[in-house]
Amino acid sequence: MSYELFFKKIKDVVKEFNSKRETVRIVSHLDADGLTSASILIKALLRENINFVTSIYKQLEESVLLELSRENYSCYFFLDFGAAQIPLIKRYLPNKKIFIFDHHQFNYKDLDNVILLHPNLYNIDSNEISSSGITYLFAKVLNEKNIDLAYLALIGAIGDIQEDKGFKKLNQLILEDARSINVEVTTGLRMFGSQTRPLHKALEYSTDPFIPGVTGSEEGAVNFLNEIGIKPDNNTYKPLALLPKEDLKKLISAIIIKRIGVVSEPEDVLGPIYLLKEETYVMKDLKEFSTLINACGRLGKYSLGIGACLNDIKLKKLALETLNQYRLEIVNALNWFYENRNNKNKIIEEAGFTIIKAEDNIKDTMIGTLASIIAKSDLYKENTFILSLAHTQDGNTKISFRYNTENKNIDLKEILNQITSKLGYEAGGHKDACGALIPQEKEKEFIHNAIQTLKSINIEQFA
């Protein structure tokens, strides 16, 4: 690993950018990491009085680059994608100044005039920093005032599942910047909705940690709280963040006991919680803030996500409404999944893998979220692949691929590439979470290939 060279490269990139300041064309991904990346760059450019135009996309497809080639800009920033599309970018945007801040896997080595900031070029693990973190480090060198944007990089990293009871080296350095300005770190019960949801609902929807007999059941959650003596006030449960200390201790102990014999590490429910000092409600907890931004992206409300990151009061309120819609989409997706588990035409469940054929029943922007939730739950035995598919509005099939065990020897992107390459397509993403896009008419062939590939992997793995 060469951190010294990585930071030197950032300084060189800033110097190159400063050599000719002009209107910047920002092109970014729609998820939490992409939207926070765009927000960091927007704020940094505003401080430098540099004009910019921003567009958010689901994927960096050839059709997108064709659109961009018809514009009259000379400086482009591609955020949270672009590394794997360098040949296409060079073809459609020749003689342009191209900056790419990305952390997704790629195989292309001939960069030519493209300026790429990517951890892998310095033998740094992609899980140490996300694209928003790279954008933040660029912004910090550009202007030291941008240190107040460090928390946005953490939100992006959390959205890309780079926080696991703490951050790795580069993200940890960014956390130290954030702590010096506007973030505090406490230790507690790590549960989504701790600031906002009534306790019984937070327990019902808790997948990390998974609570046997409670997760997925409102009745189970209420009965659980009654059993341990935590009662509602006027028929309403407080959020977890407002629980008295004694009740919190009882709750933690009871959750650990519930998990004994069912999950491998029943006591693994405590950890760091990252709080934004001057925020309240949903956006105080960076994990919940990340979900809010992801919700805006997945539901196509990009401006609301960016507005929330830029602290626009009106847009933050609208973003909160989007979060409610997003939660409903998740509930609907989970309900569809459970209702169709016995329908082999919709869901194929075999030893070692599950294939979900959602077609038009689940939004293509939500199919990865569904796969992640299922993978994090204890619904299937360990070492199970979760492959989910949904139709897009333009006649394609979106594929998301997850694995329900943290096995460092498993490279999901490599496996998915084995399947898609037979059809002439390529997977994108990371080794532990990836996806692909294929025409709908190739879906049956893809599923056939997937079954054969996953069966052979599991035969080798579990024989």
Q: What's 109's domain CATH number?
A: 3.90.1640.30
Determine, yes or no, domain membership for 43.
yes
Residue 89 has pLDDT above 80, yes or no: yes
Q: What is the DSSP code (8-state) at residue 237?
A: P
Give how many domains the chain has, as a whole number: 3
**pLDDT of res. 398:** 95
Domain boundary among 147, 175, 201: 147
- Span 106-133, average pLDDT: 88
- The one-letter amino acid code at 143 reads N
Determine, yes or no, domain membership for 162.
no
Residue 95 has pLDDT above 60, yes or no: yes
Q: Are 8 and 121 within one domain? A: yes
Q: Residue 319: which domain range?
A: 188-334
Is residue 25 left, alpha or beta, with left meaning phi > 0 and alpha meaning psi from -120 to 50? beta
Q: Are 118 and 192 within one domain? A: no
Q: Are 364 and 320 within one domain? A: no
Q: Are 292 and 192 within one domain? A: yes
**pLDDT of res. 288:** 87
Q: Any idea what the CATH number is for the domain that residue 455 is in?
A: 3.10.310.40
137, 143, 144, 148 alpha-carbon torsion, rounded to 10°: -70
Q: Are 127 and 66 within one domain? A: yes
By percentage, how much of the chain surpasses pLDDT 90? 59
Q: Over the stretch 37-74, which tens digit does the pLDDT of each residue have?
A: 999 999 999 999 999 999 999 989 899 999 999 999 99
Q: Are 320 and 422 within one domain? A: no
pLDDT band at 462 (very low <50, low <70, confident <90, very high): very low
Q: Over the stretch 317-337, which tens digit does the pLDDT of each residue have?
A: 899 888 888 878 888 898 899
Q: Over the stretch 365-390, which tens digit does the pLDDT of each residue have?
A: 899 989 988 887 767 877 889 999 99
Domain boundary among 311, 334, 357: 334
94 preceded by a cis bond (ω within 30 of 0): no
* CA pair distance 75, 16, nearest whole angstrom: 11
Q: Are 320 and 198 within one domain? A: yes
Determine, yes or no, domain membership for 121.
yes
User: For residue 418, which of 410, 135, 122, 299 has the smallest C-alpha distance?
Assistant: 410
Q: Are 193 and 324 within one domain? A: yes
Q: Which helix (H) or strand (E) holds 27?
A: strand 24-29
Chain mean pLDDT for the chain? 90
Domain boundary among 95, 115, 147: 147
Q: Which helix (H) or strand (E) holds 389?
A: strand 385-391
Q: Are 322 and 351 within one domain? A: no
**pLDDT of res. 463:** 43
Does 205 or 350 have the greater pLDDT score? 350
Coil, strand or helix: which one is 270?
strand
- Span 81-103, average pLDDT: 94
Q: Are 385 and 456 within one domain? A: yes
* CA pair distance 355, 370, nearest whole angstrom: 12
Q: Over the stretch 434-445, which tens digit does the pLDDT of each residue have?
A: 899 999 999 999
Determine, yes or no, domain membership for 42.
yes
Beta carbons of 322 and 299 less than 8 angstroms apart: yes
Lowest mean pLDDT of 65-69, 164-168, 212-216, name the range: 212-216
**pLDDT of res. 439:** 94
Coil, strand or helix: which one is 177?
helix
pLDDT band at 106 (very low <50, low <70, confident <90, very high): confident
Residue 177 has pLDDT above 80, yes or no: yes
Q: Over the stretch 292-318, which tens digit does the pLDDT of each residue have?
A: 999 999 999 999 999 999 999 999 989
**pLDDT of res. 258:** 85
* CA pair distance 287, 240, nearest whole angstrom: 14
Q: Are 126 and 263 within one domain? A: no
Beta carbons of 134 and 156 less than 8 angstroms apart: no
Determine, yes or no, domain membership for 51.
yes
- Span 110-132, average pLDDT: 91
Q: Are 387 and 355 within one domain? A: yes
Q: Over the stretch 252-271, which tens digit does the pLDDT of each residue have?
A: 999 888 888 766 666 678 88
C-alpha distances in angstroms, 38 versus 33, 54, 135, 141, 384?
A: 9, 8, 8, 17, 35
